[in-house]
Structure 1
Amino acid sequence: MKRLSIVMIALFSIFAMNAQESTKAKKLLSEVSSKVKAYDNMVIDFKYSLENTAESVSQETRGDVSINGDKYLLNLMGTTQLFDGKKIYTIIPEDQEINISDYVEEDANNITPSKMFSFYEEGYTYKWDISQDVKGRQIQYIKLTPMDSNADVKNILLGIDSQTKHIYNLIQTQDNGTKITITVKSFKTNQPLAKNLFSFNEGRYKDFYINRLD
């Protein structure tokens, strides 16, 4: 009975500690979300890397994105993706092709640019993870695990600058072993953006094949 009591006390201590860690992680994420939502817009330069050691795949490139509310303009790997709040336009200059599709909230399981600072608010459990010093910046990691057991994503590590409460990087590990890392290199807010930045002008792409998916 004495041994059983000791085991039970230990288990309760672990559960209590996990609950505290989860609460602490959720509080930090809420601070990040609240701060980001207060900005009129964001302009971000980032490094994107994809690695799968089992498949001998390794890619690294730079990209940039402008975000205003749900709208965004993303440049990555020679492709531009524009979301005007209703439709997604994927512009591929190399193939002179444009894909246009309706945005459907229920189907948007991936982390889109406009969701990067809020995707974690639903569908994930939180865990306080390691803290690292990166060039004098204290980066606190929160481990996110999808509640959906059938999700392709195994877990996500979200690195947060403890001082600025801005996201420093995102490390997504998939079930197939692929690891995607997005590292913020430059983060600017409340920039003077062009009024038509998030508008698609079909007249500019007369030589392109336009594929309307919906």
Structure 2
Amino acid sequence: MKKLLIFSLLTILSVSYSFAQKDADAKAILSKVSAKYRLYDAVKTDFVFTLDNQQAGVKETQSGTLIARSKSNKFKVTLYSPQTTGKPDVAQEIISDGKTQWTYLKKDNEVQVSNVDNSGEGLNPAKIFTIYEHGYKYIYTGEKKMGGTIYQEIDLTPEDDKKSFFKVRLEIDKAKKQIYSALIFDKNGNRYTYTLKTFVPNVAVADNVFTFDPKAHKGVEVVDLR
């Protein structure tokens, strides 16, 4: 189930959406989100990801951190093992320098190396805040207030009906013009929720953050899939 949880998270992060012939209100909101994000060099966010399937009685939660430099297609996703106290323990890392991608599995002390998929179908967490620019219809469904904050809700449906999911619901902080959460509805009854807990724009980050150094991981097995 953990592998499914991680894959679903990356699926959410890599989805993108189109502006053509779509709801005008939704387009205006999403355009503001995109324009604001493009001003930043790099961003860092802590997130929580939840898989929920009521029929199967399954509910799992995993936390993580994303550092992204979208202009150069670079990112680092760190996923943590479940725990209640103490410093988070790294379970997995997905790192890309825009050309090469490394997937590090701490439990197995293994790193898988592959080429970045630039076809548009690949996983690209660097594009999380511009996830609405190609391939989807969308509609603005109104505002909701939670904890004193007003969120604008937008539902997106894929133009390709072969997708494994049929809808994505975005919650956007109206004042900050920033994505707060994404809820994916898949065809198997699963609900995947990705919620941003923190957001740090223009974070100072060295370029070597977006590469994997085998020397820093004693005994790591390198599996080259290129």
User: What TM-score comes out, normalization by structure 2 length?
Assistant: 0.81
Larger deviation, residues 198-207 vs 135-144: 198-207
User: How far is the alpha carbon of 1:157 from its aligned partner?
Assistant: 0.5
**1:46 is aligned to 2:59:** no
Counterpart of 1:4 in structure 2 is: none
For 2:225 and 2:148, how far apart are their aligned partners in 1? 47
For 2:100 and 2:22, how far apart are their aligned partners in 1? 39
Q: Secondary structure at the match of 1:32?
A: helix
Counterpart of 2:15 in structure 1 is: none
Counterpart of 2:38 in structure 1 is: 37
Write the deviation string for residues 26-65 of structure 1: whole angstroms up to 9, x where unpaired: 1111110111011111010111111112222210121111
Larger Rg: 1
Selected match of 1:165 from 160, 177, 181: 177
Selected match of 1:134 from 146, 149, 156: 146
Counterpart of 2:113 in structure 1 is: 100
User: How far is the alpha carbon of 1:20 from its aligned partner?
Assistant: 10
User: How far is the alpha carbon of 1:153 from its aligned partner?
Assistant: 1.5
> Can you give the 5+ residue segments of structure 2 that lack an aligned partner in the other structure?
1-19, 81-90
Selected match of 1:74 from 74, 77, 86: 77
Map 1:60-209 onto structure 2 (within 5 A).
60-69=61-70, 70-77=73-80, 78-106=91-119, 108-110=121-123, 112-209=124-221
Identity among equivalent pairs (%): 31
Q: Which has the higher contact order (CA 8 A, sep 6+)?
A: 2
CA distance 1:161–1:211, change in 2 (3 Å): same
Counterpart of 1:88, as a letter, is Q
Write the deviation string for residues 6-31 of structure 1: whole angstroms up to 9, x where unpaired: xxxxxxxxxxxxx9980110111111
For 2:21 and 2:204, how far apart are their aligned partners in 1? 42
